[in-house]
């Protein structure tokens, strides 16, 4: 089909103008508008011959990213310019020097940060993990780098439909694993919610569509309920003279799905499907008082659940979130969450730290600065393994906070679940290293004691105390973990130096020159991951040096006398070795890789995939290819951290072999119910059972049955039949 280039150019110009009109937070001075137009012209020229997977001109992407930056995050002219140019240095002939010459040093610095995030890095570590580290490095220089990157990721997620399924899964997993938590940590609630929902849409399309359909069906009932529920509150607020707005909003699709998974309940049993938000138009000095007045009015009409009161006005979250939350009982017996906040708090809740620039209050600025300082501290330990770094950092992204006090009354914010030792490191590194114990509210407690909000903590120290390996089991903060690991590593290096001397002496005794030694062969033989580990274990006496007699020098190089069997695996482009297989084994059920070959594989025990499940292959270090379901509990981590080791996999239809699958059955206990269930499985459907166990408690039974099925269709039919049995309330597949 021939493309009308003139018409296309006009549409691109219209998209650019629409972006400019949406830029309410941008100061539209003649100078700013001229610079933005210039950035658009440069980007248009640079990308003019490029099209996206969907077939549309590439320039639509930077325009859309710029629009998200200004309309949804509230950024200004500099960010719009950088968003329009964000892919030019990486993908076109434009250089950073060109950007600096045309637009300035700050713009060049931000685009450099964005380009660094996308650099190709060493394939021996996770590409995504290294990128994440680079994101944090650039974030500590200018927060706009990560805000533009998040806008870029959001637009990519919105337009993921034209990509191949395996790419969709990798991008969605990475989004859920890294970018949604980062949006949350920066206080971008709307963006975090949409990123989670879009990821779920890719990963669990059936569950996503089911929740959307049910939300649409119940929308009218919800609207009517919210109207009736809020009516007395509305009247009372009007009588009090307060200016306000009331909104009723459903929970995000992802949070509903998450609750269904965690509590193992259907959609209908998720009790808090929506929340009521009261937004007050208050003067800054009256915000706190007005919020508590509104709380008083709400609880005059509805009984609150005291355990569910959350006061983030007196002690805001680390990401700047301020709000008062309470859960109250409605006249119909339904719990409703009510959120009370001011207009300023609402804007910060939706747009995060970007909104803080609008409200130039010292407290808000310093809270953001504190977090940036924390990030700089995290990055000081550059030797940490990238994946380990992410796991530690991620731990603090979503966590709720607690607030504890020093003996002098200074308040410290820590993640929920933090120990007394975390507190010691939060106050000062030296205090943590020499921490012997703690007094909490004047009572002596161990280092592992889990702190609660309001605790007053005094740290006891001794110069003889040193960090121990088991400390890592109960610290929660990244700072504490990093400092402990750094100390242990230094100690390990000293011990390893001693081990190296012992090993050198032993080789001297065996008359083997040290320069002839192949450390890789020794590491492989003794199953250690690094030379330092090898030397450390030698010093600790954990390695039997008598085994060195099994080595000999050949052609001037130390080698084992008998070959050590190694396994060949593939990470990137290397050829996968296929084992000899007998016809009719389960290994003939799948085709793997871009060329869809029949290669050797194993089914992962963490999710027990069966034919019909959507699956992917994962190349392990020691066990060849493992096949996982895309819904596997480990899928997000594997797809986001090790995308380069993930390969396509697809079931073949020709075989009819039996695969194990687990079924959980819940229902009302009655005479003969177990017999009826086994009759349906064995006699009606002719399905073989491997194991069966039933447990009854207070008239309710729960059964676990392991059956042999051919594929997911076979299993679905079995579940449908079992659901029809009188007394059975729920039947579901389980992975174990």
Q: Catalytic residue positions?
A: 90-91
Type and span of the H or E element at 170: helix 165-174
Cα angle: 487, vertex 489, 491; to 5 degrees = 70
The owner of tokens 């106050």 is 427
Task: For residues 472 and 482, give the distance between their C-alpha atoms in angstroms, rounded to a whole number.
Answer: 9
Give 3-state DSSP helix, strand, coil % of the chain, rounded to 5.
50, 15, 30
The SS3 assignment for 595 reads: coil
Tokens in use for 38? 């210039």
Task: For residues 325 and 313, give the distance between their C-alpha atoms in angstroms, rounded to a whole number.
Answer: 10
The SS3 assignment for 578 reads: coil
Question: Do the strands 244-250 and 324-329 form a parallel or antiparallel pair, or are they unpaired?
Answer: unpaired
What's the length of the chain? 736
The SS3 assignment for 147 reads: helix
CA 666 centroid distance within chain: 32
Tokens in use for 67? 């629009």
**Residue from 372, 338, 344 nearest 356 by CA:** 344
**Residue from 308, 307, 304, 343 nearest 322 by CA:** 343
* Dihedral sign from CA coordinates of 527, 529, 533, 534: positive
The SS3 assignment for 280 reads: strand
Provide φ and ψ at 521, rounded to 5°.
Answer: -65, -40
> Which stretches does DSSP call E strand in 561-715?
590-592, 602-603, 615-619, 625-629, 646-651, 659-668, 689-697, 700-709
Provide φ and ψ at 731, rounded to 5°.
Answer: -130, 130
CA 225 centroid distance within chain: 34
The SS3 assignment for 617 reads: strand
Task: For residues 716 and 123, give the distance between their C-alpha atoms in angstroms, rounded to a whole number.
Answer: 41
Compute how many other C-beta atoms are within 10 angstroms of the C-beta atom of residue 492. 18
Tokens in use for 61? 């992407």
Question: Do the strands 625-629 and 401-405 form a parallel or antiparallel pair, or are they unpaired?
Answer: unpaired
């Amino acid at each position: 089909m021939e493309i009308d280039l003139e018409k296309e150019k006009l549409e691109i110009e219209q998209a650019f103008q629409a972006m400019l009109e949406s830029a309410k937070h941008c100061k539209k001075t003649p100078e700013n508008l001229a610079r933005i137009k210039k950035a658009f012209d440069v980007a248009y020229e640079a990308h003019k011959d490029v099209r996206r997977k969907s077939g549309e001109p590439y320039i639509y992407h930077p325009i859309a990213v710029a629009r998200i930056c200004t309309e949804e995050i509230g950024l200004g002219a500099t960010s719009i310019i950088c968003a329009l140019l964000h892919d030019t240095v990486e993908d076109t002939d434009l250089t950073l020097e060109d950007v600096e010459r045309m637009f300035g040093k700050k713009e060049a610095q931000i685009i450099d940060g964005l380009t660094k995030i996308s650099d190709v890095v060493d394939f021996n570590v996770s590409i995504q993990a290294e990128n994440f580290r680079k994101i944090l490095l650039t974030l500590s220089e200018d927060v706009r780098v990560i805000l533009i990157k998040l806008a870029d990721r959001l637009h990519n997620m919105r337009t993921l439909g034209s990509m191949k399924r395996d790419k969709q899964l990798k991008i969605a997993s990475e989004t859920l694993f890294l970018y949604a938590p980062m949006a949350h940590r920066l206080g971008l609630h709307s963006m975090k919610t949409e990123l989670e929902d879009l990821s779920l849409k890719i990963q669990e399309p059936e569950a996503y569509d089911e929740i959307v359909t049910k939300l649409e069906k119940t929308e009218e009932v919800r609207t009517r309920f919210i109207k009736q529920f809020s009516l007395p509150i509305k009247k009372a607020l009007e009588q009090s003279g307060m200016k306000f707005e009331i909104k009723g909003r459903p929970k995000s699709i992802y949070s509903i799905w998450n609750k269904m998974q965690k509590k193992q309940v259907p959609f209908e049993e998720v009790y808090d499907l929506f929340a009521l938000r009261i937004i007050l138009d208050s003067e800054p000095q009256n915000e706190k008082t007005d919020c508590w007045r509104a709380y008083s009015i709400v609880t005059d009409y509805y009984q609150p659940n005291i355990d569910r009161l959350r006061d983030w006005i007196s002690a805001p979250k680390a990401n700047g979130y301020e709000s008062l939350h309470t859960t109250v009982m409605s006249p119909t017996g339904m719990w409703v969450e009510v959120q009370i906040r001011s207009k300023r708090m609402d804007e910060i809740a939706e747009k995060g730290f970007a909104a803080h620039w609008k409200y130039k209050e010292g407290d808000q600025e310093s809270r953001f600065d504190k977090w940036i300082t924390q990030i700089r501290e995290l990055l000081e330990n550059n030797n940490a393994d990238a994946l380990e770094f992410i796991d530690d950092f991620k731990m603090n992204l979503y966590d709720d906070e607690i607030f504890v006090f020093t003996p002098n009354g200074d308040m410290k914010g820590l993640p929920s679940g933090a120990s007394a030792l975390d507190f010691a490191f939060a106050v000062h590194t030296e205090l943590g290293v020499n921490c012997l114990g703690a007094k909490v509210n004047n009572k002596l407690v161990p280092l592992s004691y889990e702190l609660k909000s309001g605790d007053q903590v005094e740290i006891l120290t001794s110069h003889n105390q040193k960090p121990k390996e088991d400390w890592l089991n109960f610290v929660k903060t990244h700072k504490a973990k990093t400092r402990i690991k750094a100390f242990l590593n230094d100690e390990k290096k000293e011990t390893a130096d001693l081990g190296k001397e012992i090993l050198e002496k032993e080789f001297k005794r065996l008359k083997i020159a040290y320069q002839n030694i192949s450390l890789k062969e020794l590491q492989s033989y003794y199953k250690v991951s690094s030379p330092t580990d090898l030397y450390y274990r030698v010093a600790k006496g954990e390695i039997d040096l008598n085994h060195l007699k099994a080595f000999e020098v050949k052609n001037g190089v130390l080698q084992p006398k008998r070959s050590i069997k190694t396994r060949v695996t593939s990470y990137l482009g290397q050829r996968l070795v296929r084992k000899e297989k007998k016809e009719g084994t389960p290994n003939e059920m799948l085709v793997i890789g871009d060329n869809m070959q029949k290669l050797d594989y194993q089914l992962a025990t963490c999710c027990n995939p069966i034919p019909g499940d959507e699956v992917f292959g994962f190349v392990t270090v020691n066990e060849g290819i493992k096949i996982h379901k895309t819904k596997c509990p480990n899928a997000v981590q594997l797809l986001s951290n090790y995308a380069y080791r993930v390969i396509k996999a697809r079931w073949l239809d020709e075989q009819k072999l039996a695969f194990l699958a687990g079924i959980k059955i819940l229902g009302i206990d009655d005479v003969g119910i177990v017999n009826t269930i086994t009759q349906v499985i064995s006699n009606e459907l002719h399905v073989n059972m491997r194991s069966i166990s039933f447990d009854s408690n207070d008239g309710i039974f729960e059964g676990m049955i392991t059956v042999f099925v051919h594929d997911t269709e076979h299993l679905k039919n079995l579940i449908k039949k079992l659901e029809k049995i009188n007394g059975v309330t729920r039947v579901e597949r389980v992975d174990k």
